[in-house]
Every structure is written in structure tokens, then in C-alpha cells.
Amino acid sequence: MERKDHAQEESMGRAKYTALDHGGLEVLPPSEAPEVAHDELWRRQFAKDRKSSLLVPEALHAKPAYGDDGKEMSRDEEGLQHINRQEYEGMQYDGPLDQGYGMQNGKAVGVSEEEVDSGRRRRRYWGMSRRMLIILIAAIVLIVVVGAVLGGVLGTLLNKKKSSSDGASNAPLPTMPNTGLATTISSSDPELLLTYFQDPSGRILENSYKSSTWSLSEHSQINSSVVTTAATPGSPLAAISYDYDNQHYRQIFFVTDTGNIMTTNSTENISDTSTATSWSAAHVIHRDTVAPNSIGLAACASEELMNGIRVFYPSQYGYVQMLRYDFGGNGSWWETDFWNRADTSSGIACAVKDEGSGRKLLNLYTRMKGSGVVKQFWNDFTDGEWGWNENKTPESWANKTIAVGSDIAVASDDSQTEYVYYQLEDGKVTRGILNPNFNHYDTFENFVTAAVGTKLSAAFIDGGSMLLYQNASSDSTIMLENVSRYGAEIAKSPVR
């Protein structure tokens, strides 16, 4: 404004002396304009925004202000329409200073240097400007968020590391889809279940079960549980455990890629919960081969009943064949009886049944051609190898028709009851319960839904009939289902 006034005066032919140009105090000529009184409102308006004259020299705007239209404005108009802090810095005001303003050490008390430079008061928070406070809060929020994210990530990694260090006990054992399954109760411990299956590479593994604990719950022991690598992928399996010549035997049977049946056994002195690590060299037991794409294979042993082992398999010639091995013999296997009406495309199961009073039976279960029923045959060996009886033996119910190609499994309890399992045409696995008289099935009940074509294996343990099968949702997972005679669930879980 001072430069503007100076220019106006020069244009009017009046040269004005200013202290700003000469370094001295300015002497102002009397104003020709009529004096305009400053009313109280106008004076209070500027009292808040003005700077103290103690800080800088003051000069009065002696001349009246003009608006954009060139007309003279009153002080009220000028104050309301053309207030400019830079224009009024030097205006003299003889009223009281705002409270809190004064001089201390050459500076206005209560006014920061920033306020002096800018000409206005700025609110401060805990000694900080608003901008600095916002930056600080944003930084704190960012630190908290980053800390939470890093904490979550590190926690997840630590949990994974801990799970890994604890072993793979929470993960099901990896198995080959459609693997063969075999189970048998250990002859050395009636509470120890021995199970066999193929892993993804085709190796046959042993996994024992006792008191709800699997010997391979620590997957790091898998390589030490290998029985053999000679089985063809998806081979049917059969397992037996028996005592002979003061030794406990574990023996399994399987099929090679040439269709021959082979066997291996272990007589290792081991604790009840350990896995056998020493197995004999596998060898072929007979020159005959199994029917192509067949899934049936069963084995039973008893020194008291038949003084040896009996193996049942679907022959390439279209019937189910029995092979005989005698304890104390020359180590040979030979053919005995056969069943030409049995379906070689489906499963085969056998069980030694204790009738009490020293009498035992060997029961055989097969699917019959034509009728499709699951039929039982039995032999007490009083009439030798060919004394099999099928008259008035139980058959599966007509509304529980076994699917073609279904496997069959059987478990025998200590109360002269047997539990027969097979898969129906709708994929459900049913359980038929045979009464002690063996002349009919007491009941059938749908047991589980399993992978179509799954192998089955069963044993009686922990007060129930336990079934092993492959899951319908994941055919590489073996499931365990143990149910009492009256339908109470005892255990259900993946095999680990």
C-alpha cells in the first residue's frame, strides 16, 4: 500500500519523502481528507490481527482508501472489504494489547517465531504444530499396523515350523490310490493290530496300531517300515500272524506284475509296538497266475485247525483256487479245492472261527456268479481238504446286492459272531452281522461311503469290528472305522 500511495502522489505531482527510502523516521504531512472516526467494532477487528508497534515502526494510512470502482470508501467498508494483514502491519492502535502479548527478551511473550513471521497465531498441541502432530500420529498408526502384520506372519511361520518339528502326526499317511489293504491281529498280543498297504511309490509298508496309536504316526519312520518293493501297483494284499515252533510269525501275500503270488515273512523278536524291519526274501508260492484285473486275495492260518496256512485267489482259469501249506512240511505249496461258481472279479475273504469246546471252523466268503449274493462256505477239516459245506449257509440279503468288482472283508469276534463287509452298487459299504448259528444274517447296515472299488480289510479289536478303506473324497487316504456289534462308534479317523 505504501508503494501504491507513493506512486499515486507522484502521479499528482507531489513528491513525498519517506523514511523507508532514507533510513529515518517519516514525517507525514497533514491529510487533506476529512477525519473518519474509528468505531469500536472496527477497532476491535484490527486489534486482534495487528502487530505491536513495539516490534516494527508504524505508519498511518493517512489517505482514504479507494475501491475497485474508484470511489472513496469509508473506514468501515475498507475494514470489511479490503482487510489485508500485510497492508495493516504498521497501523497504529492505542487500545490495550491482547492478553498474553508483551515483550520478553526482545520477543512477544506467547508468540512463537513462526507466529511473528506469519502474522497470525497458530494453535499448538503439546508444543507441536498441527502438521507435526498429524505426522506423528500417522507414524504411530503405521508402526502399529506393520507390527501387527509382521506378528501375524511370524506367528504363522512359527506354528508351521513347530508342526513340522513335531512330526507329521496330524497328516494322514500318503498311500497309493486303490492300494491293497490287509490286517491281522498279532499272535503275540491280541491288542496289537498289524496293517499293510502300498505307499505312492508302490512299496508295501507295515503300520501297527495299539491303544489308538499308530507306529508310523511319526512319518520319519516310514523308510524303516518297508516290507517289500516287489508288488505290482494296486496289488491285492493278505496278511496273517501265527505262532509256530516257538516263534511269532508275521507273513504277507501279494501279486507281482507277472500275476504270480509271492510271500515274505518276519520272525524278528520285537516289542509289541515296534515295526518289523527284517523280512525274508520274497518268493513265488505257485506257478499259476491270478485272473487279470482281479482284486481277491485271502489267507488264514491255524496250527490247531489245519496245521498250516490256506491261501485263496482268483485263478486265471476262471475259478477261485485254494493253496495249502503244512507246518513242518517240506515247504511246498500245492493246489487243493476250488470254487468254479465263485466270481473271480470280486473280493475273497476268510476267517478262522472258534466254535468253543476245541472246535474251530474255517469260513470262506465269495460273490457268486449269476445270483450276485455273497455266500459263505465252511470247513472243520474233519473230512480233510474237500469237506467244504455250503448247505443252509448264510447268503446276503436280496436288497443288499454286492457291486460287481467289490472287495469283501470279514472280522470274527470272541462271541462267535462274524462281521462281513462289501460295497453296494451305490458306493456305500454295508456291514452284515452273522449270528452264532451261522444260518442267517441278523442285520445289515450301511456302514460308510467309500471310494468306488476300494480295497477292504477288517479285524475285531478294542471291542468292535474295525474296517479299513479308502476315502470317497480322497482315494489316497486310508480311513479307520471301528463300531461295536450294536452300532456304537468306537473310533473313526484317517490312518496316520
- Give residue-wise pLDDT tens across range 399-409: 888 999 999 99
Structural domain 182-494, CATH architecture:
6 Propeller (2.120)
The number of CA neighbours under 13 Å toward the Cβ of 62 is 12
Tens digits of residue pLDDT in 265-301:
998 766 545 677 789 999 999 999 999 989 999 999 9
Task: Please name the amino acid found at residue 378.
Answer: W
> What's the confidence (pLDDT) of residue 278?
86
Give strand pairing partners of 298.
312
- The whole-number pLDDT of residue 9 equals 44
For position 23, what pLDDT does the model report?
46
- Identify which has the larger pLDDT, 6 or 242: 242
- Cα–Cα distance measured from residue 262 to residue 256, given in angstroms and rounded to the nearest whole number: 7
> What pLDDT band is residue 344 in, cutting at 50, 70 and 90?
very high
Q: Which residue has the cell 504277507?
A: 252
Tell me the CA distances in angstroms from 399 to 323, 343, 367, 372, 425, one per residue in order: 33, 19, 15, 11, 11
Chain-wide mean pLDDT for the chain?
77
> Could you tell me where the DSSP H helices lie in 61-107?
75-81
d(CA 314, CA 265): 22
Model confidence at 46, pLDDT cuts 50, 70, 90, reads very low
Instruction: Give the pLDDT confidence of 354-396 residue by residue, as tens digits.
Output: 877 778 889 999 999 988 999 999 999 888 888 898 877 888 8
Angle (CA) 441 445 450, round 5°: 125
C-alpha cell at 454: 476300494
Cell numbers at 466, concatenated:
474295525
Least confident of 126-140, 320-334, 364-378, 438-452: 126-140
What share of the chain in percent tops pLDDT 70? 68
- List C-alpha distances in Å: 89 to 61, 67, 173, 226, 469: 11, 20, 87, 97, 95
Say if residues 46 and 92 touch (Cβ distance below 8 Å).
no
d(CA 104, CA 109): 6
**418 close to 436: Cβ distance less than 8 angstroms:** no
Using CA atoms, how far residue 217 sits from 26, 173, 239, 250, 456, in Å, is: 101, 8, 21, 21, 21
Quote the pTM value.
0.67
Q: What pLDDT digit, counting tens, does each position of 324-336 carry?
A: 999 999 999 999 9
Distance CA(444)–CA(430), nearest Å, equals 7
Distance of CA 251 to the CA centre of its chain: 37
Confidence of residue 47 (pLDDT cuts 50, 70, 90): very low
Residue 120, all three cell numbers = 497470525
Does pLDDT of 97 surpass 50? no
Q: What is the pLDDT averaged over residues 433-446?
A: 81
Reported as a pLDDT band with limits 50, 70 and 90, residue 120 is low
Amino acid at 306: M
Please classify residue 434 by burial: count the beta carbons closer than 10 Å to its beta carbon, then call 0-12 exposed, 13-18 middle and 19+ buried: buried
Residues ≥6 apart with Cβ < 8 Å to 233? 176, 198, 202
Is the pLDDT reported for residue 302 higher than 80? yes
Report how far residue 471's alpha carbon sits from residue 468's, in angstroms, rounded to the nearest whole number: 10
Helices (H), 51-189: 75-81, 113-118, 130-165
The rounded distance, in Å, linking the Cα atoms of 387 and 381 is 6
The Cα-based distances of 201 to 205, 208, 223, 229, 261 in angstroms read 11, 20, 12, 9, 20
